[in-house]
Chain A
Amino acid sequence: MNERKQHIMKFLDSGMRFDSRKTDEYRSIVVDESPNKNAEGFARVKIGETDVMVGVKLAIDKPYPDKPNEGTMMVGAELSPLASPEFESGPPGNEAVELARVVDRGIRESNSIDQKKLCIEEGEKCWLVFVDIAPLNDDGNLFDAAALAAAVALKNARFPKVEDGKVNYKELTEKKLPLSKLPVSVTVHKLGNHLLVDPTPEEEEAADARLTVAVIDGKLCAMQKGGEEAITTEETEKMVDLAIRKSKELLKYI
């Protein structure tokens, strides 16, 4: 155990975190919904100093042959080296791919998007929904910030005009995406016997394990365990309980 982790643990044992938060307390959350001129949907979420932008682009393409009457959603993430000294240039690494896939599954498995309504012409044309995650500053808990920003960006997205089968991106219609309720993600980290939410980068690094839980209507729709150490069933139950409880707070921002 390195020295920093020892300090973090010592603090937690006496019920404290470096920034004086409680273990189940998020930093302040700010959701900026001002639109982006070139994205059909956009949101910027700040949790403490973590700052993430998510843009939604819509395009018309051919549906997949096995799902001829459905549109598609794709989530991408690029961890630009602008956002953290830990990020490196180049094609998306494991971290970026995991982030994109965890956010993707949260939205997909919640069935928030009615994929059938994204079909324009069976077997020929459908809408493709690109959700791109771009962090500006990583001060911990990118997962929850990105998932929240993705949900808000999707909620705000509007279809562009279609003229002669081609998309005219210069004009957006009033029509929004076929969405029902959207999920929120809460990531719970385990350090020794302690469970905490919304970690700083120091806490993320020191954590033994983490569990990201996507919650919709009080039910779970996707999960991802990360970290090097195992967790017990009892711990899993506690982590899920905490995630469900905190999800109610996050839901207010969508």
Chain B
Amino acid sequence: MVYKKRLDGRKFDETRKIEAKTGVIPRADGSAMFRIGQTLAYAAVYGPRELHPKFLQDPAKGVLRCKYNMMPFSGAGDRVRPGTSRRSKEISMVTEKALLPSVELEDFPNAVVDVFIELPQTDSGTRCAGICAASMALADAGIVMKDLVSAVAVGKVDDKVLVDMTYDEESYDGEVADIPVAMMPRTEQITLLQMDGEITKEGLMEALELAKKALKKIYEVQKNAIKQKYELK
């Protein structure tokens, strides 16, 4: 089969509309909102603060702790049952690993930097939106970082490599691959890579090249949003 035109009319290398803002949760030490199409993510950072229970403390460096959660009314279809699921646990963990290479926590032994991600409305690409928001929130909290982390899902539908798939494309009847990728765009190092579906090695490399290009654009949106908070009005 040939996937000629995307279901929502976008170009194959075009993401959905992106909006980003920092400082959206005043009580947090750092916070951000990241919206891509209909997927909306909020992230709040608290810390560095003392880590409890104590046995989790690391005397060599601070600990990064992430929690991803979908609000009960955020999912398409049935209500999402509150509380952690196997899915949310895994996403929390890969999010943590996606952000960890970007932060410098050596100056905060025995402390924790908490990152909480909440999604009030979802379509697809929630983990990527969460990572984008979380990275901006970390910067907003003044955590020392090597770079921001930008994330997007690339994929393949039939013969076409494309970026930022929607839920309808993921459930398209044909050969589909869904590949969430996170990078530190400056050095192009990959910090998150997952894949569901079917793809050749060549297809994967092509998809990663596409991801790089899309992530540079997302990176600019994130940076602008961080700067905007400090612009003189």
Give residues in A with beta carbon < 8 Å to B.
36-39, 42, 49, 51, 53, 55-57, 59, 76, 78, 80-85, 89, 91-92, 130, 132, 134, 136-139, 169-170
Chain A to chain B contacts (Cβ below 8 Å), 18 pairs: A38-B77, A38-B121, A39-B121, A42-B73, A51-B25, A55-B72, A55-B120, A57-B73, A76-B82, A81-B46, A81-B67, A82-B25, A83-B25, A85-B27, A130-B72, A132-B79, A134-B72, A170-B76
- How many A-B pairs have beta carbons closer than 8 Å: the answer is 96
The answer to whether B44 and A78 touch across the interface, beta carbons within 8 angstroms, is: no
Q: What range describes how many residues of B lie at the interface?
A: 20 to 34
B116 interface residue (CB < 8 Å to A): yes
Q: Shortest distance in angstroms between B223's beta carbon and chain A's nearest beta carbon? A: 23
Q: How far is the CA of A55 from the CA of B70 in the complex (A)?
A: 12
Q: Which of B28, B67, B72 contacts A76 (CB 8 A)?
A: B72
B83 interface residue (CB < 8 Å to A): yes
A76 proximity list for chain B (CB < 8 A): 72, 82
Q: How far is the CA of A227 from the CA of B49 in the complex (A)?
A: 29
* Contact A132/B27 with A80-B116, A91-B83 known, Cβ cut-off 8 Å: no
Top 5 nearest A-B pairs by Cβ distance? A55-B73, A82-B116, A39-B73, A132-B72, A57-B79
The answer to whether B71 and A53 touch across the interface, beta carbons within 8 angstroms, is: yes
The answer to whether A132 and B71 touch across the interface, beta carbons within 8 angstroms, is: yes
Give residues in B with beta carbon < 8 Å to A.
24-28, 38, 42-44, 46, 49, 67, 69, 71-79, 82-83, 114, 116-118, 120-123
The answer to whether A53 and B120 touch across the interface, beta carbons within 8 angstroms, is: yes
The answer to whether B42 and A82 touch across the interface, beta carbons within 8 angstroms, is: yes
Q: How far is the CA of A30 from the CA of B40 in the complex (A)?
A: 20
B76 proximity list for chain A (CB < 8 A): 37-38, 169-170
Q: How far is the CA of A59 from the CA of B78 in the complex (A)?
A: 7
| Chain B residue nearest in CB terms to A51 | B25
B75 proximity list for chain A (CB < 8 A): 38
Q: How far is the CA of A136 from the CA of B42 in the complex (A)?
A: 8
A59 proximity list for chain B (CB < 8 A): 78-79
Q: Which of A37, A51, A89, A130 contacts B79 (CB 8 A)?
A: A130
The answer to whether A134 and B71 touch across the interface, beta carbons within 8 angstroms, is: yes
